[in-house]
Amino acid sequence: MFSLKQFAPVLWSKTFWGFTLSAIFKVFALYGWLDVELMEILSSWVFTVTGVNVVWKAAKKIKQ
């Protein structure tokens, strides 16, 4: 039997979850389900951290 990690490796990707959480926070802010300002701050922060991670990984691959 295939393990879930082998079948759907994207679920173990930090980049996937970073961008997904950022989008979820944006949706919460859009509909006003939670504090709008806090959700905007969290969304921006998670998106920035994930984006920096993506650039860092790309730069390391180019350097090699």
- Domain extents for the chain? 13-59
DSSP state of 5: H
Q: 32-37, long-range: CB within 8 Å, 24+ apart, which pairs?
A: none
Residue 1, pLDDT score: 55
What is the tens place of the pLDDT at every residue in 13-54?
Answer: 999 999 999 999 999 999 999 999 999 999 999 999 999 999
pTM for this prediction: 0.83
Cα–Cα dist 21/29, whole Å: 12
- Residue 53 is encoded by which pair of tokens? 């991670």
Which carries the bigger pLDDT value, residue 10 or residue 52?
Answer: 52
Beta-carbon count within 10 A of 38 CB: 12
Residue 55 has pLDDT above 70, yes or no: yes
